[in-house]
Amino acid sequence: MNHLKHLVILFVAVLFLGACSADSKNTATTTAAASNEGIVAPSFNLVDVKGDSYNLADYKGKKVYVKFWASWCSICLAGLEELNTLAGEEQDFVVLSIVSPNFNNEKDSDAFIKWFNGVENTSNIKVLLDEDGAIAKQYNVRAYPTSAYIGSDGKLIQSLPGHVGNPQIIEKFKSIQ
């Protein structure tokens, strides 16, 4: 009888520990699903065409959309008005753009700024200057335009070459923490 009592206690203990273990696994899965997958986004501290400084670290806790583009890229130029609209709308992410003077056939900074100031429908776009393409290289930009999606945890979720429309950008950020 005493032996049977010990077996029942042992069985209940194993059952109880198994239930605790199952809860731990569920918690781990939930936590993993709530965080973004990706690498830490390369940091940057750049000046924009107006002379204001922008540091990626300033956006900690916020999602960030970065569009890499060039003044000679016809697809990029065709998308500027759409980018301006996106940057002017209230979103749950920040919109930045990066141009790399003196890199990959881009104008030098002074020539680019002069040119950009004459482009219409760009008042909402923050254009950061990445001299000689150091940041573009860190983000492995191989073509223009390239879109980089950064989560609120600072992880680079995706870097995608080619034009992406505003509805697709907004939809993508819905799946990013």
List the chain domain ranges.
1-34, 39-174
- Please name the CATH architecture into which domain 39-174 falls: 3-Layer(aba) Sandwich (3.40)
Task: Give pLDDT tens digits for 47-93.
Answer: 999 999 999 999 999 999 999 999 999 999 999 999 999 999 999 99
- What pLDDT does 1 receive? 56
CA neighbor of 94 nearest in space, from 121, 134, 67 = 67
User: CB neighbours (10 Å) of residue 84?
Assistant: 19
Task: Give pLDDT tens digits for 105-139.
Answer: 999 999 999 999 999 999 999 999 999 999 999 99
The residues, ordered by sequence, that sit 6+ positions from 118 with a Cβ below 8 Å of its Cβ are none
